[in-house]
């Protein structure tokens, strides 16, 4: 085979490989074309499945579903707020003792969420209290064991939460419910807005799959709506003399 024929054969081989590559890219785009728009139903299910213990239909964690999952994060705060308000109404009707009210009120968010945020809080407390270098702190974050500082932090957290509940009066409800929405709106915004400690952590998984701009705008909207609800309740209670001012 002459040199010219060898060169032509190589060019044909390159063209074949290029054609095969372009075909694979096209097929991949066709496969995911329906997912690019996002699936709000899947996003809702993923959010509640991940951040709560509320039973949800089984669904695959697809690219489409992950895009808007964080947008429904504050909706779990609505559920917590509603349950807390119903509990307070029942507690008033049966004249439940103050200690029982404080303990159950503290437990409700943990029971609904399954304590997923508390798990992160404990890991962070352990890592931060180690005063080690960055790499060591990341190792501590991945360690499934619970350290002494995490236990101490958990105890302090519960004591402060109980103390806050002991100061709440019935007039504070349902305004308190809006707080659960606002905190989750800020948390959802931080997932896509702040740098991550690890690239393969849970927060990174949700951040990489999310549409940053849509999530940020939705979190801001949730926060504004919750704040507007608080202002409305404040004015309503003041006009009706419930605040004593």
CA distance 143 to 139: 6
Who contacts 117 (Cβ-Cβ below 8 Å, separation ≥6)? Answer: 187
Q: Which of 110, 69, 72 is nearest to 203 (CA)?
A: 69
pLDDT for res 113: 93
Give the integer Cα–Cα distance in Å for 64 and 41.
Answer: 10
Provide the whole-model pTM: 0.77
Reply yes or no on whether the pLDDT at 205 is more than 70.
no
Query: What pLDDT sits at residue 171?
Result: 83
Judge whether residue 140 has pLDDT over 70.
Answer: yes
With a CB cutoff of 8 Å and minimum separation 6, the contacts of 187 are 73, 117
- Res 139: pLDDT: 82
Q: Which two tokens stand for residue 155?
A: 């105890």
Q: Is the pLDDT of residue 242 over 80?
A: no
Predicted confidence (pLDDT) per residue in 48-89, tens digit: 998 899 999 988 877 777 888 889 999 999 999 999 999 999
List pLDDT tens digits, range 80-132.
999 999 999 999 999 999 999 999 999 999 999 998 888 888 888 988 888 88
* pLDDT bucket at 14, cuts 50 / 70 / 90: low
Higher pLDDT, 65 or 4: 65
Taking the C-alpha atoms of residue 1 and residue 22, their distance in angstroms, rounded to an integer, is 30
- Report the C-alpha gap between 136 and 188 in whole angstroms: 27
Instruction: Give the separation between CA 186 and CA 193, rounded to whole angstroms.
Output: 10
* 192 pLDDT higher than 50: yes
pLDDT digits (tens, 9 = 90+) for 206-220: 667 677 888 889 999
Residue 207 in contact with residue 196, Cβ under 8 Å? Answer: yes
> Rounded distance, CA 78 to CA 84, Å?
10
Quote the mean pLDDT of the chain. 82
Which of 218, 179, 188 is CA-nearest to residue 82? Answer: 179
223: which 2 tokens?
């926060």
Q: Which stretch of 20-34, 105-119, 197-211 has the lowest confidence by average pLDDT?
A: 20-34
DSSP secondary structure, 73-136, as one string: HHHHHHHHHHHHHHHHHHHHHHT--HHHHHHHHHHHHHHHHTTHHHHHHHHHHHHHHT---HHH
């Amino acid at each position: 085979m002459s040199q010219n024929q060898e060169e032509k054969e190589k060019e044909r081989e390159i063209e074949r490989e290029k054609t095969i590559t372009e075909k694979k890219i096209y097929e991949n785009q066709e496969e995911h074309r329906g997912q690019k728009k996002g699936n709000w139903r899947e996003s809702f299910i993923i959010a509640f499945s991940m951040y709560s213990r509320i039973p949800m239909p089984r669904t695959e964690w697809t690219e489409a579903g992950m895009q808007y999952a964080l947008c429904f994060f504050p909706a779990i705060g609505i559920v917590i707020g509603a349950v807390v308000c119903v509990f307070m109404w029942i507690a008033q009707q049966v004249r439940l003792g103050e200690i029982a009210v404080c303990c159950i009120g503290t437990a409700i968010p943990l029971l609904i969420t399954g304590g997923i945020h508390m798990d992160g809080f404990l890991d962070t407390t352990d890592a931060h209290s180690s005063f080690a270098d960055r790499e060591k702190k990341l190792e501590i974050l991945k360690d499934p064991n619970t350290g002494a500082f995490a236990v101490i932090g958990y105890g302090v957290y519960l004591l402060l939460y109980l103390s806050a509940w002991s100061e709440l009066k019935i007039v504070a409800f349902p305004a308190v419910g809006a707080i659960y929405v606002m905190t989750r709106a800020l948390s959802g915004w931080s997932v896509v807005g702040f740098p991550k400690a690890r690239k393969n952590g849970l927060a990174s998984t949700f951040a990489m799959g999310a549409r940053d701009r849509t999530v940020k705008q939705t979190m801001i909207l949730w926060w504004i709506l919750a704040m507007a609800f608080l202002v409305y309740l404040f004015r309503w209670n003041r006009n009706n003399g419930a605040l004593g001012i």
